[in-house]
């Protein structure tokens, strides 16, 4: 049996890869120390984006664990062009998996990244693992275990958010475990 904790990053000041956490986001990151206190986490992977790494850094430090930065956990870029209708295009990308906007990544391509890291983690020796990512990619990670997970679930996510996936030979049980404490 393996338990994977999928963490969406804490509140941040923006979308660029260098965007820092807000003050509230820094409090949320510190709250994750206690949140994970009784969970036997042995490995932590994170998107290389500053807001993702900084979300899990306090927990990693408290446990004396290295943060393994992995580009496969980076956010899925919908488009390199700023769009006023971005939310509608995002919704469409969950309906048309091949939709690829200018400079963006299709749902299919993002899902391929998500699957590759999940398969690696599932075949590893570690039994309790944290993966820190972003809303869109976290949705794709969750979709791997439940194909009904989609756009509406993404819109309902909080910053941060934590999902627990317990994987056995027979099934994967997925549940949201974050309690919105901050």
Domains of the chain in start order, with CATH, are 2-116+126-176 (3.40.50.1240)
Residue 83 pLDDT: 85
d(CA 139, CA 151): 8
Per-residue pLDDT, 181: 59
Q: Shortest CA distance to 48 belongs to which of 121, 106, 131?
A: 131
Integer angstrom CA distances of residue 27 from 32, 33, 58, 85: 9, 10, 10, 32
> Which tens digit of pLDDT belongs to each residue from 67-93?
999 999 999 998 988 889 999 999 999
Q: What is the pLDDT of residue 182?
A: 57
Contact 58, 29 (CB under 8 A): yes
| Angle value at C-alpha 67, between 28 and 52, nearest 5 degrees | 40
What does the pLDDT look like over 106-124, one tens digit per residue? Answer: 999 999 999 999 999 999 9
Question: Which parts of the chain sit beneath pLDDT 70?
Answer: 181-182
């Amino acid at each position: 049996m393996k338990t994977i904790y999928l963490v969406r990053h804490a509140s941040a000041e923006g979308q660029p890869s260098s965007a820092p956490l807000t003050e509230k986001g820094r409090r949320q990151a510190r709250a994750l120390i206690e949140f994970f206190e009784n969970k036997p986490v042995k490995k932590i992977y994170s998107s290389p984006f500053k807001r993702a790494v900084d979300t899990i850094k306090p927990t990693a430090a408290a446990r004396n664990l290295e943060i393994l930065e992995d580009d496969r956990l980076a956010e899925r870029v919908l488009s390199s062009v700023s769009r006023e209708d971005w939310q509608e295009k995002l919704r469409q990308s969950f309906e048309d998996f091949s939709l690829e906007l200018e400079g963006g990544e299709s749902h299919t391509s993002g899902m391929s990244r998500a699957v590759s890291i999940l398969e690696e983690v599932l075949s590893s020796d570690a039994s309790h693992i944290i993966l820190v990512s972003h809303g869109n990619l976290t949705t794709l990670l969750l979709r791997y275990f439940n194909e009904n997970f989609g756009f509406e679930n993404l819109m309902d996510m909080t910053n941060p958010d934590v999902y627990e996936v317990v994987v056995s030979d027979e099934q994967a049980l997925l549940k949201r475990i974050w309690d919105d404490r901050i």
